[in-house]
């Protein structure tokens, strides 16, 4: 089941969430390199991912968080990457989710925000919008991987209902580090799990 293009949730004041488009790829590619360094996805990978987010066979969704410039303001002065094609706005974050056919667990593929936009609710807005999307298409839960040493991200995820469920050894390569696998059960998934728990033999 493919989600509605307009289902992007709410955002902090002065920011809007919208579906990522090919016109965003230049800016997102630059941010990807700045945010993730040696582990950044290449522009070709980002383009291929976005291709898989459109059309009848779409099985994933990518969003951007866009800073809305005040009239006469210089977009991107305080945070974000200025995008003249977006009419005086700046992309300050982005995220992607794989939801497959909606009958299993979704996967948070990526999430990033520019340093100047952190602690402003941008990552939370992206995370919640994608969790809602996963629930809307029928997924039972959302999974993600996070560096074992990334305590800030782990706290953010824990605050939004994600719990550690496993570890992937040497998952990250630059530098080499384990990933903590975290899972958030969604409303429909919680109902199903309660039903299974009560249906013992």
CATH number at residue 72: 3.40.630.30
pLDDT in tens, 177-198: 999 999 999 986 655 554 444 4
CB atoms within 10 A of CB 162: 25
Structural domain containing residue 81: 15-197
* C-alpha 191, offset from chain centre: 25
pLDDT for the residue 174? 87
| Residue 5 located in a structural domain | no
- Strands 81-83 and 105-113 turn out to be unpaired
| Residue 107 located in a structural domain | yes
| Residue 9 located in a structural domain | no
Q: Which segments of the chain have a pLDDT < 50?
A: 2-7, 73-77, 80-88, 194-201
Domain count, the chain: 1
For a pLDDT cut of 70, what percent of the chain falls above it? 79
Q: 3-class DSSP state for residue 164?
A: strand
| Residue 1 located in a structural domain | no
């Amino acid at each position: 089941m493919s989600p509605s293009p307009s289902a992007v949730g709410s955002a902090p004041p002065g920011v809007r969430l919208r579906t990522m488009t090919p016109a965003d790829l230049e800016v997102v590619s630059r941010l990807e390199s700045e945010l993730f360094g040696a582990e950044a996805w290449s522009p070709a990978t980002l383009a291929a991912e976005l291709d898989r987010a459109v059309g009848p066979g779409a099985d994933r969704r990518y969003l951007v968080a866009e800073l809305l410039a005040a009239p006469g303001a210089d977009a991107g002065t305080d945070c974000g990457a200025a995008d003249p094609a977006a009419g005086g706005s700046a992309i300050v974050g982005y995220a992607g989710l794989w939801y497959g056919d909606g009958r299993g667990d979704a996967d948070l593929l990526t999430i990033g925000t520019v340093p100047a936009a952190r602690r402003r609710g941008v990552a939370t807005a992206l995370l919640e919008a994608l969790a809602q999307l996963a629930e809307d298409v029928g997924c039972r839960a959302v999974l993600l991987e996070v560096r074992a040493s990334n305590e800030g991200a782990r706290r953010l995820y824990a605050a939004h209902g994600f719990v550690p469920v496993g570890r992937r050894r040497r998952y990250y390569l630059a530098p080499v580090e384990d990933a903590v696998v975290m899972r958030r059960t969604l409303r429909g998934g919680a109902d199903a799990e309660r039903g299974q728990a009560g249906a013992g033999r």
